[in-house]
Chain A
């Protein structure tokens, strides 16, 4: 839909470039990279395509871009209400920017490359197994025994399957995190219920570590550090809410299993 409109206005170069800058900014913001990078790369793409000045404002739910060419300003807003993490898209947008700066891509080339971004994801089952292994490794790092690590692997793998299913069915992120934490803790809490040794608690603690919102947290602090304070606050709030619903999922599972209080 978007692309059709771009073709109609192909004669109007500034409009086309503005749309490309907005598209690049949207892709970067939507796929979870910090604000400084969104702003920098959007600037660079605009400048290399021949715009005199590019100004960018970021909010948690939109990218606002103004370009100036020969005294004429154009402003456009792209909405960006959902955030995911896909580093391959970030990497590809960056490579398009670098290719344009090296003179390998003109406006049409950037348009074509940006429209063609659709990188594959890792196989879902591979990710399930790797996240299971990751949480088992957390458990081992904290000093868990082999059977506790095994339980962690089981709980996290099943949790990851639940999470992927919910994400695929486009559930709200908060609901996804809460339900995943609940089911993961139900399974990993079995170790405490059946008293699988002194450190059975570690299975509960480690198996939900796959739900730590590491990317929003790191991005939040980076943003605040680099002057994007409102973006930092909104990311921090997102991360806090995700942690809170995860905790509520854990609490629900603890109440059902009757192992209340081990986390305190």
Chain B
């Protein structure tokens, strides 16, 4: 919730273009960091960064134009998936090798943690409708966004590469 609110506030506060530029550049950093943690081949690190920048930027614009975050995530991940197919045919690596690192900036980690922390709190201090509502809200939100991201990444395989491998 915090992230969305902050996002909305910053959209209202500053001109769109510079905001977009800042977000896309910032989104490359987690992709590079996680890419290194996943030990992606060095020659594909640039694809992690480019995928993350364009995907995050696309989602930012779609959110700005009023789309729901689930649909925005789906379309952004579809874009990354499509670019991943193109790059994978050049590098002869499966697209998942670098597209997962590219969607990392869009994964709703804070929702997931909030849901689990609310669960721990229910165990500690007992059930209240607010805590349970917090758990469910955050959990469902996280699930839908993750599903959207994963389905989006898989989309080229589901639509076009149904019977032949990508590489």
State the A residues within 8 Å of B (CB).
Answer: 32-34, 36-37, 40, 44, 85-91, 94-95, 98, 119, 121-122, 126-127, 130-131, 133-138, 140-143, 199, 201-202, 205, 208-212, 214-215, 217-222, 225-226, 243-244, 246-248, 250-251, 263-264
Contacts and interface: CB of A to CB of B under 8 A. Distances in A.
B19 to A, nearest CB: 11
B153 to A, nearest CB: 7
A218 B158 contact: no
Contact of A264 (B100, B110, B121): B121
Given A130-B33, A142-B6, A248-B120, A218 B103 contact: yes
Interface in B42-74: 44
Contacts of B2: 142, 201-202, 205
A131 B34 CA distance: 7
B159 interface: no
Contacts of A85: 37-39
A178 B5 CA distance: 28
Contacts of A264: 114, 117-118, 121, 131, 134
Contacts of B107: 212, 214, 217-218
Interface string B111-147: 0111011111100100000010010000000000011
Contacts, number: 180
Interface of B: 2-3, 6-7, 9-10, 23, 26-27, 29-30, 32-34, 36-41, 44, 91-94, 96-98, 100, 103-105, 107, 109-110, 112-114, 116-121, 124, 131, 134, 146-147, 149-151, 153-154, 157-158, 165, 167
B81 to A, nearest CB: 11
Contacts of A212: 104, 107, 109, 112
A91 B44 CA distance: 10
- B contacts with A: majority SS: helix
B150 A130 contact: no
Given A98-B92, A202-B2, A88 B41 contact: yes
A133 B9 CA distance: 23
A243 B97 contact: no
9 contacts: A40-B165, A87-B98, A89-B39, A135-B30, A214-B109, A215-B38, A244-B116, A263-B114, A264-B114
A141 B103 contact: no
A90 B99 CA distance: 14
Given A130-B33, A221-B146, A94 B94 contact: yes
